[in-house]
Amino acid sequence: MEAAKDITAALDHLVAVLRLEQDFRLAAVLHHQLHRAAWNSHSELFVELSRLLRNAQASQISSYSTTTSAQIDKILTAIDGLS
């Protein structure tokens, strides 16, 4: 359970960074999924967040800073480690 809290904290930090980088759409979607949507389990939530982050990274129009890209990679690795 501690790992889930760490991932949630990292995602909250990522939301703040995305807002600073003017990616308000992804920031809003991630924030909504984390704090507003109802989930049956952390596993279900993290599968959806992983999908969103992977799609954002793969997008041709997204160009995140190297720091932000590394932060996303770290979050994805942590989510994958829960399985």
Q: What is the pLDDT of residues 13-56, one digit of tens each?
A: 999 999 999 999 999 999 999 999 999 998 999 999 999 999 99
Give me the amino acid identity at 31: H
Give me the amino acid identity at 14: L
Extents of the domains making up the chain: 2-81
- Whole-prediction pTM value? 0.90
Taking only the tens place, the pLDDT of each residue in 48-79 is: 999 999 999 888 666 788 899 999 999 999 99
At 1, is the pLDDT very low, low, confident or very high (cuts 50, 70, 90)? low
**Alpha helices for 1-83 (secondary structure H):** 2-20, 24-35, 42-58, 66-81
